[in-house]
Amino acid sequence: MESICRFCRHVIGHAATACEHCGAPLTQHTTSHEPDPPTAPTPSTATTVGSGLLALLTARARPRWRAVVVTILTAAALGWVALRSLAGCELMFTTPGVSPIVAALPKQLRSAATCTPVDAGVQRCVLTPEDALLEGDLTGGKPLTFDARLVAPAPLADTLARWRVNGAVRLDGEGTFVATGPTTSVWYAQSRSGLRIDTSPFVSADAGWTFLGRAGLLP
């Protein structure tokens, strides 16, 4: 029980009949011990909660964007590698309708010959006797026929081993080999590209070498 002065509002905590400061009468006051009502969330608290939710949503969305970016970069890198591989490939696949075997022939030979597929992986090509590549009666007035193919490294190595028995000559450091067959035909192989050519007979071995030089097959 407390007493409060009616005049100066001085609080007296013990029993008294008048204010000790001014002498005015006192009013009895009972102190309430009820608990304080709960306080409402302050605006700063609500702001903090909203910021936390936004940060959480942003953090969850971020890995998805990262995955998309990684996928795009990976696809771009693979495409670049594929283009580089095709650009460095010996065979030219850029001309629609042209066999890879024919595309591997030197330009002057590819332009002069008429080639048709005769077997899986084999093109049979023909040059007329009047063609400039055969000028000088290199074939005795007959058309020149040759089979062209692309051979994998291991089988080509076996073929070259047999050709060496027949005196095959290696012409450069890139693995260009030439041999003359029993009927003065010419055997040609290029290890780097895998191109192999077997011709019909020439009038002589020298005629065969002349043709190889004109056709762009010699280094």
Alpha-carbon gap, residue 183 to 207, rounded angstroms = 12
Q: Identify the bridge partners of residue 188 per DSSP, sorted by sequence position.
A: 178, 197
Options 3.40.1000, 1.10.20, 1.20.1530, 2.130.10; CATH for 100-214 is 3.40.1000
Alpha-carbon gap, residue 161 to 147, rounded angstroms = 20
SS (H, E, C) 164-196: HHCCCEECCCCCEEEEECCCCCEEEEECCCCEE
Domain with CATH 3.40.1000 in the chain: 100-214
Which residue type sits at 132?
A: A
Please enumerate in sequence order all residues whose Cβ is within 8 A of that of 125, keeping only pairs 6 or more positions apart, or say none: 102, 105, 113, 114, 115, 116, 145, 146, 147, 148
Q: Which two tokens stand for residue 128?
A: 């007329």
Torsion of CA 213, 215, 217, 219, to 10 degrees: 50
Which residue type sits at 171?
A: L
pTM of this prediction exceeds 0.85: no
For the chain, list the strands marked E by DSSP.
Answer: 2-5, 11-12, 26-29, 114-119, 122-127, 144-150, 169-170, 176-180, 186-190, 195-199
User: pLDDT per position in the chain (219 positions), as tens?
Assistant: 667 776 676 676 666 677 766 766 766 665 555 555 555 555 555 555 556 656 655 655 555 656 665 677 677 666 544 444 433 343 444 455 679 999 999 999 999 999 999 988 999 999 999 999 999 999 999 999 999 999 999 999 999 988 888 788 888 777 899 998 888 999 999 999 999 999 999 999 999 999 999 999 988
Backbone angles phi, psi at 194, to 5 degrees: 85, 5
Burial of 154 from C-beta contacts in 10 A (0-12 / 13-18 / 19+): exposed
Evaluate whether 186 touches 199 at the Cβ level (below 8 Å): yes
Classified as helix, coil or strand, 1 is coil
Alpha-carbon gap, residue 195 to 59, rounded angstroms = 58
Evaluate whether 138 touches 210 at the Cβ level (below 8 Å): yes
At 11 the pLDDT is 72
